[in-house]
Amino acid sequence: MVAGESGAGPITAFDASAFATRIACEVKDFKPEELIGRKDARRMDRFTQFAVVAANEAIADAQLPESSEFKERTGVVIGTGIGGIITFWLNSEKANANGTWSKVTPFFIPMLMANAEAAHISMQHHFQGPVFSAASACASGNDAIATAYNYVAHGDAVAMVTGGSEATVSPLAIGGFASMKAMSTRNDDPTRASRPFDAQRDGFVLGEGAGILVLEEYEHARARGAKIYCEVLGYGQSADAYDLVAVDPEGRGVMLALQRAFASAGITPADVDYINAHGTSTPIGDPAESKAIALALGAHAAEIGVSSTKSMHGHALGGAGGIEGVATVMAVHDDLMPPTINYEFPDPECTLDYVPNVARRATVRVALSNSFGFGGHNSVIVFGKAPSGS
């Protein structure tokens, strides 16, 4: 992301030649059998494989204690918007080809269910705290992080593994979004197709992947000498109460989520240095988000960096909040704002500083991560510098 590299390219998961959109941001060279073992990998949908691999990386980085007492008080909440759609597609194809539904794998239901990712992480690491999945479309990852934060803040868990994961690059998902005319059709120039806030944007580019964080009670983490990247200060949630798929063009619901995030975190708009925007590269969504940020932050909105990393990794739906949460954490930790690439033609309806094309070195004390989903679900997470001395 800091390098400003796009992950978009022609779809390789299936023959997409008949579709209006034939590009996506796929996870390349992913070999789950080498990362989690052949037996386990065969019993997981791709979205669960992503979540398990990312969780293993996060848990190893956190060097979590191995005691049974710690694991009894550690939980898992992972977001996904759709779940095992690839399992659904592949088994439907197999059944239709053979003319019988008896060919459906006995693992079909366990692979399909949205909570499979959280369950597998819990089983592999023997975590016995609260374990489930959050499903609120493209806000799922952020809602999972907010839920995990609450468990730790209220003392119901000492640590939570959280974030989001999604894997939907399939004919069903591409066909559905293409029918809605929601995706970019810039098939001949995929790396420039996702262009949030740019006047020539024509829709989002589908992405896939997972981003997983370990949230731990501060004093517990400090006492054991854990590496602390930043602090979760709070969150804000709201509903547009407007339309099942269209955003409120006035951005009123998003404004409420931002205001509630400020109240939860105990900050003012003037404290914010950076926003990792939802920024999907859709004609209606980007201006609505820009308007909401301007309404919630007032004059200060023009003084901060607001970038969309979806310009590089695409829109991972329920996984977006996890991936972008990791990006926002690192922006705070490294004092480095990732860019919005492909920003060439300013849109008069999008008037903020979108950190165009090149990463920016700047002090980032407080940062927001925005995620909004079909159904009008709005979720904002607030990250801040870890307390001095940690």
Catalytic residue numbers, as ranges: 138, 278, 315
Strand 366-373 and strand 274-276: pairing?
parallel
Kindly compute the dihedral angle of the four CA atoms of residues 337, 228, 271, 354, in this order, to the nearest 10 degrees.
10
Residue type, 32: P
Q: Which of 27, 113, 39, 103 is nearest to 78 (CA)?
A: 113
For the chain, the straight-line distance linking the first and the last C-alpha, in angstroms and rounded, comes to 27
List the structure tokens of 231. 């602090």
Q: Are 85 and 137 in contact (CB under 8 A)?
A: no
Q: Which of 373, 374, 196 is nearest to 287 (CA)?
A: 196
Q: Which of 267, 333, 330, 336 is nearest to 297 (CA)?
A: 267
DSSP SS3 for 353: strand
Rounded-to-integer distance, Cα 75 and Cα 356, Å: 38
Strand residue runs (E) in 12-88: 23-24, 74-79
Q: Name 212's bridge partners.
A: 163
Q: What angle do CA 369, 370, 373 make, to 5 degrees?
A: 145
Phi, psi of 296 (to 5 degrees): -75, -30
Phi-psi region of 13 (alpha: psi -120 to 50; beta: other; left: phi over 0): alpha
Strand 131-134 and strand 23-24: pairing?
unpaired
